[in-house]
Amino acid sequence: MELEKLKEIWTSFDNRMQQQEGLKTAIIKEMLLSKSDKALSRLINYGYFGLVLAISLIPLLLWAFSFVHTTMKTIIFLILFMLLIWTLAGGIFGLIKLHKIDFSKSMSSNIIIISKYKIFYKRGTLITYCIVALIVVLFNVDYFLLPYRMVFWRWAVVLFSLPISIVGGCWEYKRMGMKNIDSIIKCLEELKELEES
């Protein structure tokens, strides 16, 4: 009789432990999905912000181009225009990739999508920064070749905008882009482990 009671108690205890383990796993999955979803939303929102900014700068650039009268400035404006077109194309392509992520599907396919996006983001950012550096160099060459046009406020703008641009670019790359991408990848890998266990 006591042996039967012990078996019942053990079975009941085992069932409760399994329920608690399942509940714990469900809570962990929910937390990881929530964290991934927030990081993905930040990336998507930032992508749309970049698209809106690029689209709104195109008319401004075309208006400013009407005041250009030198060959160097024409080259700079053409490169700026190409940069905006590059930003638009990259932004649209990146958003298409990000919208393919679906947390209700298998984690393996989501990991592949976000890993491809990470490579795309790194390469796109590198190309963008190279184009921006080229524009800065051409802008400085244009003004440094004609020193009488370099008044104090222009020197100040050049000297202060360069470090601010570098710090802003690094912040955008590391904090906005890579931090969210890495967070999604880490959460998806943990979710994949939970699914497999």
Per-residue pLDDT tens for 16-70? 777 777 778 778 888 888 999 999 999 999 999 989 998 998 888 888 878 777 7
Distance in angstroms (rounded) separating the CA atoms of residues 145 and 147: 6
pLDDT at 147 over 60: no
Q: Is the distance from CB of 162 to CB of 136 less than 8 angstroms?
A: yes
pLDDT at 149 over 70: no
Query: Quick one: tokens of 72?
Result: 């160097």
Distance in angstroms (rounded) separating the CA atoms of residues 118 and 84: 21
Helices (H) and strands (E) in the chain, counts: 5, 0
Among 19-33, 121-135, 148-162, name the one with the lowest average pLDDT: 148-162
Distance in angstroms (rounded) separating the CA atoms of residues 88 and 50: 8
Distance in angstroms (rounded) separating the CA atoms of residues 79 and 109: 37
- Residue 80, Cβ neighbours under 10 Å: how many? 20
Domain boundaries, the chain: 50-196
- Residue 37, Cβ neighbours under 10 Å: how many? 14
pLDDT at 115: 93
pLDDT at 112: 92
- Chain centroid, CA 66 distance in Å: 34
pLDDT at 184 over 70: yes
Distance in angstroms (rounded) separating the CA atoms of residues 56 and 60: 7
- Residue 146, Cβ neighbours under 10 Å: how many? 11
